[in-house]
Structure formats: structure tokens, C-alpha cells
Amino acid sequence: MPDGHHSISAGLSHGPSEAVRDTQHNPRGMVPTDAAIAAALDRHAHDARGAYAVNTTRALRADTAVFTAWCSAAGLAALPALPDTVAAFIDAMGETRATATVRRYISSVTAMHRAAGLPNPCGHEIVRLALKRLHRAKGRAQVQASPLTRDRIDRMLAVAGTDRRGLRNRALLAVAYDSLCRRSELVALQHRDVDDGSHDDGTLTLRRSKTDAEGRGTVRYLAADTMRAVRVWLEAAGHTDGALFRTVGKGGAIGGPLDPGDVARVFKQMAAAAGDAPEAVAGVSGHSSRVGAAQDQVRHGVELPAVMQAGGWTTPTMVARYTARLDARRSGAAKLAMLQNRG
């Protein structure tokens, strides 16, 4: 597990415990001492430096902190954890957390045990059954971000202000839609990543992304109107290098790079200003422009490989998820209803 392993120290077992006697958890009936576990975590933290994206490290740290805090409150050892402990954790978290969140927690608990050189309790049958209970009770479907399709984008751009913050917001939203960037990718963009094209349009270089952890780099397209919005923002901001999108304080003072969480806040504020209903605003996230752009491309007949290239997807799974409702409206049942004049 990457940096931040000290958050699990409170969950280490102290003295003889059930884990030592659990031969199903450990065939030899023994587990390493606390000192050995801590040493293994130290070695892993050293070896893993720079091997994980910052967001991955942050998520692992936060997830394992949730697990160890729950174990501490329940008087149970988090490292090594018994399969019964993990199953009980799943049942408890399932009462208040989304299914996808609980699955991510379990993935992080697995990573924590591997980093410590311990058997993985999450592979036990009792844990698989607990996850099945969770899926049957709550389902596996994830709540999709409210899509910012072109009609919504245009309304939001139209009401963006003309001060520095408004100009930044307009450029941020325009770039997000054209490039299908994730929020972490948007805030990581640098001034040097934007290149002018030959017909007033341009390109954007993503030096690293979720599906390009090794930093080979990908290039995304920016339309002419988006390039104009970027140029106007940069001229108003007055910076010629460093982070492309920055905070704007009182009086228009330009600060440091945006935080990933700022992207959703900006989009929500713009949607509210555009007159969207409260429930539509609540559904907006940092991925909304990505979902909306994918839907618009499919709606206008863009072929799947081109959609995948535009969004940096290596498989069609997410595209299919984003466009499921659109596909339903183009299904055989929908075409039949049209032929039968049942509209």
C-alpha cells in the first residue's frame, strides 16, 4: 500500500488473538508480529513511491482509515483482519454507503493486507457472500452523473460572467466538454498543454490520465470556440505558464491550481445560474461534461472507436453505461413504436 500506512497502526492486533488461531485464514496458524507487519508496510511504502497516482494513494488512505476506525470502534483487529470482520464491515457499511463505495473499501482492504505481506481475508467465501447480500439488497447499479449535454452547456456558457472568475469558468467548462477530461485531468493541465491548430481550433495534451498511468500522453481536440474561451481567460489571468486553470479570489486575484473538488462546485454553480431545476443541479458532478459529451457523440452518429478515443476509454464498457438510456430510445422497441405511430 502506498504512503500513509500509519493510519492503520491502531488496527494492528496486540498479543494473542483469534487471528493467530484461525488456521483457515493462515494455514500455519500463525501471523507476523506487529513489528514485522509495520516493517513490511515501511518497505512497501518505500518501494511504492511514485508508482501510484496521487488520487489512488489518497483513496487508499481514506478507505483504510474508514476500515480501521470501524474495527477500532468494534474492538476488532484491522490488520490482520479476520474474514468475519470484513463481512461484518460490509454489512455495516451497506446500511449507509453506496454499493460501489463498499466495493472500493474492500479493494483497499485487500491492498492493505498485500502491502503488509498478509493473507487476504477478502478472498474468503464469507466475504463473497456478504458482498452478494449487499448487491441483492441494494443492486450494483451506480448513480450516473447528470449529463451536461450541449444544450445545457450552451445555457451555462451564456450566463457565465465576464469577470475573471466567469471567464475561467467558461474556459473550464468548454475544455471539459470538448476534451472529455476527468476532473483530476482538468486541474492537472498546464499552460504548455494547449496548442493552436491551423483553423482557429486546437489540441490539448494530456500528459497523464487514469488509463495512462505511465505518462505516455494523449492528445484531445479543442474546437475553435473553446480555444477562444481559453485565450480570453489566459489574457485576463495574465499568466503564461504553470497551471491552466487557477483559483480566482476576491477582486479577481489569481491563485494556485484548482482542486479536483472545485470542478464540480463550478459546474453546479453554473447550472444553477442557468436556471436548472434543483434536482438537476444536485446531480451535476465533475464527470457530467464527460457523460454529456459521450451521449452527444453517440446521438450524432459518431462511431464507437472514435467516441472511445475522444474520451480515452480502452474498453466500450463506460461508453455503454453512459449512453444506455440513449440506446434504449433507439432500440427495436422504440423504432417499432415510431412505425406504429404511437408517439
Calpha distance 265→273 (Å, rounded): 12
| Single-letter amino acid code for the residue at 178 | D
Calpha distance 57→54 (Å, rounded): 5
Which of 69-78, 200-209, 295-304, 332-341 comes out lowest in average pLDDT? 332-341
**343 falls in which pLDDT band (50, 70, 90)?**
low
Q: What pLDDT shows up at residue 18?
A: 39
Give exposure, 119-148, as e/b (b: 16+ Cβ within 10 Å): bbbbebebbeebbeebeeeeeeeeeebbbb
Q: What pLDDT shows up at residue 313?
A: 82
**317 falls in which pLDDT band (50, 70, 90)?**
confident
**34 falls in which pLDDT band (50, 70, 90)?**
low
Tens of pLDDT along 109-144? 998 898 888 899 999 999 999 999 988 887 655 556
Q: What is the CA radius of gyration of the chain?
A: 24
Q: What pLDDT shows up at residue 51?
A: 57
Residue found by looking up cell 488473538 in the block: 17
Q: What pLDDT shows up at residue 276?
A: 94
Give exposure, 310-338, as e/b (b: 16+ Cβ within 10 Å): bbbbeeeebbeebbeebeeeeeeeeeeee
Which of 76-85, 228-237, 260-269, 320-329 comes out lowest in average pLDDT? 320-329
For residue 12, what are the β-bridge partners?
Answer: 79
Cα pseudo-dihedral 33, 34, 39, 45, rounded to 10? 130
Does the model's pTM come out above 0.75? no
**233 falls in which pLDDT band (50, 70, 90)?**
very high
Calpha distance 263→153 (Å, rounded): 14
Return the C-alpha cell found at 251: 477582486
Torsion sign, CA atoms 19, 97, 56, 142: positive
**187 falls in which pLDDT band (50, 70, 90)?**
very high
Cβ-based neighbours of 259, under 8 Å, separated by 6 or more:
187
Sheet holding 194-196, edge to edge: 194-196, 202-206, 218-222
Domains along the chain with CATH numbers: 5-138 (1.10.150.130), 150-328 (1.10.443.10)
As a whole-number percent, the residues of the chain with pLDDT over 70 amount to 80
**20 falls in which pLDDT band (50, 70, 90)?**
very low
Distance from chain centroid for Cα 282 = 17
3-class secondary structure, 79: strand
**70 falls in which pLDDT band (50, 70, 90)?**
very high
Residues in the chain: 343
Q: How far apart, in Å, do the first and last CA atoms of the chain sit?
A: 56
Tens of pLDDT along 138-186? 765 555 678 999 999 999 999 999 999 999 999 999 999 999 999 989 9
Looking at per-residue pLDDT, the higher value among 107 and 3 belongs to 107
**224 falls in which pLDDT band (50, 70, 90)?**
very high
